[in-house]
Chains A and B, each alone.
Chain A
């Protein structure tokens, strides 16, 4: 398929054409990557509801034409105000409509124990790393339209690098707070955790209910040999924010990835994570929590890629739907030829709390190897009537008993969230959504 054969109306995501490309001068390394991505972007058709992946999440649900790309945020010298959780992290990056700042709470950046830099700056200081990892080997298989868009058009790019043997359990918090209606924000994250290092990255997305926004996020994360990477994202966008997120993760030999995605806000969210357990003894724990109420629509696709023998992945995604809420889960376990002794597990549990709400689940396997252990499943149901009666027999009013059971349902995933404040925040969100009358 060549560019010439494609009608611009079919390939362009409204709002993302030639004129939306960043104008400012950037290091050649970055420019070259953007060029390659833009070319790919032009070669890929805009997804439609006829594509299997978008069949249940019609791209027409997202009013692309109403958004213009936001200006790139500028670096601020002075802090613009702290978030309530900032003190629990070693480094805090906060990004808003006009600026960003990087706060070095523990002096780790100054000492060189950790790198957290804008991508363009990193391309100058650490060209070899950027060369190797930006749009690098985690981007296996299937070129995807919105990843190419993110690579070509990103406006805020961040590079995080933990050197070999660095143990940074408190880690990095990235806060995105956007409020400018009619704008699209396109952040880009690249994180590399080197041999035997240990790092936690937490992300938080927030916008007010009255701002109409589009966020297109692209993340790429690498765990080197024996490294431990914990990545948790808490999505609490306001009621009129649309989010397309594509994440690429790769674990090398003996590495461990703990991935948690918490989707609570936004109007439409279409998320994808591809996790490649790439070398023997790599392990990935992928956890998801989502709760769609009112008219929210949440779609998540997961890929557990086992490209090497003796690799392990364990996925647990739990969701609830209420009112007119609609959730979609599509999962694939993919074991490459020769990937023997693979142990892969995939489970999606769904609570359907009210009539009119809908949850679709499509777990799947694509296996080209034998001598492996793969299992997957999905469950659907309302709350258990016997549990409900038990709680009510102890004096809990029905609404409170139901709320407690929804909390109980999610607790297994919440327990995998690496920070207590984030766990508490998710519990609060779930409580609020349970009590929220449509």
Chain B
């Protein structure tokens, strides 16, 4: 693998918002077929990382690179990143009254796959299948996007978009927060439908609960803008049991050495 171009690689990423440094040198590599989980205490920079990956204009990258199939995506606009196959499931999806879910999904699919690449009749058929799979009513197609949706409905809508756009690499920003156990099961079912040898996934979460449904191959702990520790799935239980302090202590020592 080392001879090949990595699929997705974050190198020494530094980013700030409103002149406040948040990310202070993040390194992370994801290969196709891998699911990575990123955990960390509040304020450690988890959401900043997801926003920077997608190119949110409120964040400034001060150093480092993000390479997707060898291309530095930091030079690209958010929509160019999306069309390359990157996807961010938002922690707080915005409501857009006036645009129906159907219109929005069709516009997004046309942008990603090319105008006319999907026949309208096939598109509607696929939407119906995806809605059924996510245990959502077809009436969602005629509702305005996220307008008056419950928290769980908004998160399912994110997954519906993910299924529609078939990304190569997806970042889920605390998709599990605020979900009850049924919604969590449905959301996970949707994500697992995409998991496969061509797909990379980064699950950002506060709680290990979602990791019972979406099994990570690797876990990273983000503390104070850096990856303080990485490990296999066994690390999940340790974080759950002991929290972050022991990592912070050990990390602090390593930095001091």
Partners in one complex: yes
| Chain A residues in the interface with B (C-beta under 8 A) | 384-387, 389-398, 400-401, 404-405, 407-412
Other-chain residue from A384, A386, A396, A408 in contact with B111 (beta carbon distance below 8 A): A396
Q: Report how many A-B pairs have Cβ atoms within 8 Å.
A: 77
**Complex CA–CA separation, A389 to B53 (angstroms):** 13
Task: Give every chain B residue within 8 A of A389 (Cβ-Cβ).
Answer: 54, 56-57, 78
Q: Does B94 contact A (CB under 8 A)?
A: yes
Q: Are B82 and A386 in contact (CB under 8 A)?
A: no
Q: A392 near B97 (CB under 8 angstroms)?
A: no
Residues of B within 8 A of A404 (CB): 99, 107
A397 to B111, CA, bound (A): 8
11 pairs, A vs B, C-beta closer than 8 Å: A387-B94, A389-B56, A390-B93, A391-B108, A394-B79, A394-B104, A394-B112, A396-B79, A397-B79, A409-B98, A410-B98
**Given the interface contacts A395-B112, A396-B108, A400-B107, does A407 sit within 8 Å of B78 by beta carbon?**
no
Question: Which residues of the other chain, A, contact B78 by a CB distance below 8 angstroms?
Answer: 389, 392-393
Residues of B within 8 A of A398 (CB): 77, 79
Query: Is the C-beta of B96 less than 8 angstroms from some C-beta in chain A?
Result: yes
Set of chain A residues within 8 Å of B79, measured between Cβ atoms: 392-398, 401
When distances are taken between beta carbons in the complex, the residues of chain A under 8 Å from B77 are 392, 397-398
List the B side residues contacting A394 at CB < 8 Å.
79, 82, 104, 107-108, 111-112, 161, 165
Residues of A within 8 A of B165 (CB): 394-395
Known contacts A393-B79, A407-B98, A412-B98, then 13 further A-B pairs from the complex at CB < 8 Å, ordered by chain A residue: A387-B96, A390-B90, A391-B96, A393-B81, A394-B82, A394-B104, A394-B108, A394-B161, A395-B112, A396-B79, A398-B77, A405-B96, A411-B98
A277→B85 CA distance, assembly (Å) = 56
Query: Any chain A CB within 8 A of the CB of B227?
Result: no
Taking CB atoms, residues of chain A closer than 8 Å to B57 are 385, 389
Docked pose: A411 CA to B88 CA in angstroms: 27
- Enumerate chain B interface residues (CB-CB to A < 8 A): 54-57, 77-79, 81-83, 87-88, 90, 93-94, 96-99, 104, 107-108, 111-112, 144, 161, 165
**Majority-rule SS of A interface residues:** helix
In the complex the two chains form, what is the Cα distance from A397 to B88 in whole Å?
Answer: 16
Closest 8 CB pairs of A and B: A408-B98, A411-B98, A395-B111, A395-B82, A394-B108, A392-B78, A392-B79, A408-B99
Among A384, A400, A407, contact of B94 (Cβ-Cβ < 8 Å):
A384
Q: In the complex, A398→B97 CA distance in Å?
A: 19
Closest Cβ of chain B to A150, distance in Å, is: 36
User: Nearest A residue to B90 by beta-carbon distance?
Assistant: A390
Report Cα–Cα, A391/B146, bound state, in Å.
13
Please, how many angstroms separate the alpha-carbon atoms of A411 and B104 in the complex? 14
Cα A291 to Cα B233 with chains together (Å): 56
C-alpha spacing A282/B56, complex, angstroms: 50
Chain B residues lying within 8 Å of A407, measured Cβ to Cβ, are: 98-99
Chain A residue numbers with a CB within 8 Å of B87 are 393
A386 vs B93: C-alpha distance when bound (angstroms)? 9
A329 to B56, CA, bound (A): 35
**Contact across chains for A393 and B111 when beta carbons are under 8 A apart:** no
| Contact residues in B for A397 (Cβ distance below 8 Å) | 77, 79, 111
**Chain A residues whose C-beta falls within 8 Å of the C-beta of B55 in the assembled complex:** 392-393
Contact B54 A393, beta carbon cutoff 8 Å: yes
Query: How far, in angstroms, from A246 to B9 measured CA to CA in the complex?
Result: 64
Query: In the complex, which residue of chain A has the Cβ closest to the Cβ of B82?
Result: A395
What residues of B have a CB within 8 angstroms of the CB of A387 in the complex? 94, 96
Q: How far is the CB of A317 from the nearest CB of chain B, in Å?
A: 16
| Cα(A386)–Cα(B95), bound, Å | 10
Which residues of A are found within 8 Å of B97, using beta-carbon distances?
Answer: 408, 411-412
The listed residue with most A CB atoms (<10 A of its CB), out of B79, B90, B94, is B79
Q: Which residues of B contact A386 (CB under 8 A)?
A: 94
B residues in contact with A408, CB < 8 Å: 96-99, 144
Name the residue on A nearest B92 (C-beta). A386
Q: Are A392 and B82 in contact (CB under 8 A)?
A: yes
- Distance A437 CA – B165 CA, assembled complex (angstroms): 31
Central interface residue in B54, B82, B93, by most chain A CB within 10 Å: B82
Q: How far does the Cβ of A216 sit from chain B's closest Cβ, in whole Å?
A: 34
A146 to B87, CA, bound (A): 57
Report the Cα distance A412→B147, complex, angstroms: 13
- A77 → chain B closest CB, angstroms: 45
Cβ distance A420 to chain B, nearest Cβ, rounded Å: 15
CA gap between A427 and B88 in the complex, in Å: 30
A residues in contact with B88, CB < 8 Å: 393
B171 to chain A, nearest CB (A): 10
Chain A: CB-nearest residue to B51: A389
For residue A405, which residue of chain B has the nearest CB? B96
A385, A386, A401 — which one has the most chain B CB atoms within 10 A of its CB? Answer: A386
- Least distance between A328 CB and chain B CB atoms (Å): 24
